[in-house]
C-alpha cells in the first residue's frame, strides 16, 4: 500500500459522518498528542489548568485573562 493510497483511504473514512474509526482516531490523538484540551465555554477553567500545570509559561495567565491587566 502506498502512502497516497493510505491517505486517500483515511480521508474517505474520516469524511463519513458517524465513522467509528474516525472517532477512535480522534480519541487516540487526544490522549496521546495533547497535554490539555479546552472548550470556549469553559475557557476560564482551561486557563486555570494551564497556569497550574505549566506555571513557568502561564504564571499570572488567569489574572490577566480575567482583568486584562498584567
Segment 31-53, tens digit of pLDDT:
999 988 888 999 999 999 999 99
User: Is 4 within the bounds of a domain?
Assistant: no
User: Is 48 within the bounds of a domain?
Assistant: yes
Which structural domain, as residue segments, surrounds residue 26? 20-67
Which residue's C-alpha cell is 467509528? 20
User: For the chain, how many structural domains are there in total?
Assistant: 1
Question: Is the pLDDT assigned to residue 21 strictly greater than 90?
Answer: no
User: Is 50 within the bounds of a domain?
Assistant: yes
The set of cell numbers assigned to 56 is 513557568
Q: Which residues does 28 contact at the CB level (< 8 Å), separation at least 6?
A: none
User: Is 2 within the bounds of a domain?
Assistant: no
User: Is 62 within the bounds of a domain?
Assistant: yes
CA atoms of 43 and 46, how far apart (whole Å): 5
> Where does residue 22 rank: exposed (0-12), middle (13-18), buried (19+ CB within 10 A)?
middle
> pLDDT tier at 19 (50, 70, 90 boundaries)?
confident
Amino acid at each position: 500500500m502506498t502512502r497516497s493510497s493510505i491517505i486517500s483511504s483515511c480521508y474517505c473514512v474520516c469524511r463519513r459522518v458517524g465513522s467509528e474509526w474516525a472517532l477512535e482516531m480522534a480519541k487516540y490523538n487526544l490522549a496521546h498528542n495533547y497535554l490539555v484540551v479546552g472548550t470556549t465555554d469553559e475557557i476560564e477553567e482551561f486557563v486555570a489548568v494551564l497556569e497550574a500545570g505549566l506555571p513557568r509559561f502561564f504564571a499570572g495567565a488567569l489574572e490577566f485573562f480575567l482583568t486584562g491587566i498584567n
